[in-house]
């Protein structure tokens, strides 16, 4: 469980050490969200930047454009998958609320909301795994991300709680989360995957 604090600490350290790059890349990512169409490739570019930083590779704003160019098609594939799931779960939340305005309906609605939050949190692991592969493979990244979430439930829940609290605090403190929140989340995802892979290798050697 303490590993979650270590991941958060490392992500914060990397954020502080790369403020200029993070501020520029986060701004570009937020602009892509407003434009909608380039948002999925830009999100992959964000995780590409974060992966380079997590591995102590020299990284600058120009690497964002490199990631955007290199992973644009993969980004749109990832985006289509997420759009379908978000539409499905979002539709269920709205329909259940309208069709079943009872305690059972609210319970079911809560279940769909929980599923949506889990799916969104899963994505930081999926994209973290994507950039640890020699050849990025979405299917493998989704499988590994789901396995990591399932096998490290306590770690994942604690990390999600810490990140949510920190981002909420960042909003209160002069909108820091808006300025760096996207890259910070990408750093958390990358460091979480690196930490779990390292832990798995240690267990394999020990076994």
Instruction: Tell me the DSSP string of 102-164.
Output: SHHHHHHHHHHHHHHHHHHHHHHHHHHHHTTSSS--HHHHHHHHHHHHHHTHHHHHHHHHHHH
Average pLDDT, the chain: 89
What DSSP string runs through 52-84? HHHTT----THHHHHHHHHTHHHHHHHHHHHHH
- Which tokens is 35 given? 């434009």
pLDDT at residue number 79:
96
Q: Which residue is listed with tokens 């974060």?
A: 50
Residue 18 scores a pLDDT above 80: yes
The answer to whether 186 touches 129, Cβ cutoff 8 Å, is no
The answer to whether 46 touches 21, Cβ cutoff 8 Å, is no
Helix or strand run (H / E) with residue 23: helix 19-35
Residue 174 scores a pLDDT above 60: no
Orientation of helix 72-99 relative to helix 138-151, angle to 10°: 50
Q: DSSP state, 56?
A: T
d(CA 175, CA 28): 16
pTM of the shown model: 0.91
Residue 173's pLDDT band, with cuts at 50, 70 and 90, is low
Q: Which residue is listed with tokens 């995802």?
A: 189
The answer to whether 176 touches 205, Cβ cutoff 8 Å, is no
d(CA 200, CA 207): 10
Q: Which of 80-89, 96-105, 108-117, 157-166 has the lowest mean pLDDT?
A: 96-105
Residue 106's pLDDT band, with cuts at 50, 70 and 90, is confident
């Amino acid at each position: 469980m303490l590993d979650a604090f270590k991941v958060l600490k490392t992500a914060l350290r990397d954020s502080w050490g790369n403020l200029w790059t993070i501020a520029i890349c986060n701004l570009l990512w937020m602009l892509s969200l407003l434009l909608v169409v380039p948002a999925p490739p830009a999100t992959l570019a964000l995780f590409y930047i974060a992966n380079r930083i997590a591995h102590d590779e020299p990284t600058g704003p120009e690497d964002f454009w490199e990631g955007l160019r290199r992973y644009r098609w993969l980004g749109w594939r990832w985006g289509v998958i997420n759009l379908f799931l978000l539409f499905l779960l979002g539709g269920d939340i709205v329909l259940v609320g309208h069709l079943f305005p009872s305690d059972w309906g609210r319970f079911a609605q809560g279940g769909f909301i929980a599923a949506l939050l889990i799916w969104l949190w899963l994505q930081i692991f999926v994209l973290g795994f994507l950039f640890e592969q020699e050849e990025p493979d979405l299917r493998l990244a989704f499988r590994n991300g789901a396995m990591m979430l399932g096998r490290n439930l306590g770690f994942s829940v604690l990390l999600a709680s810490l990140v949510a609290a920190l981002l909420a605090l960042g909003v209160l403190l002069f909108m820091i989360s808006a300025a760096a929140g996207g890259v910070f989340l990408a750093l958390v995802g990358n460091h979480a995957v690196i930490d779990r892979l390292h832990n798995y290798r240690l267990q394999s050697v020990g076994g």
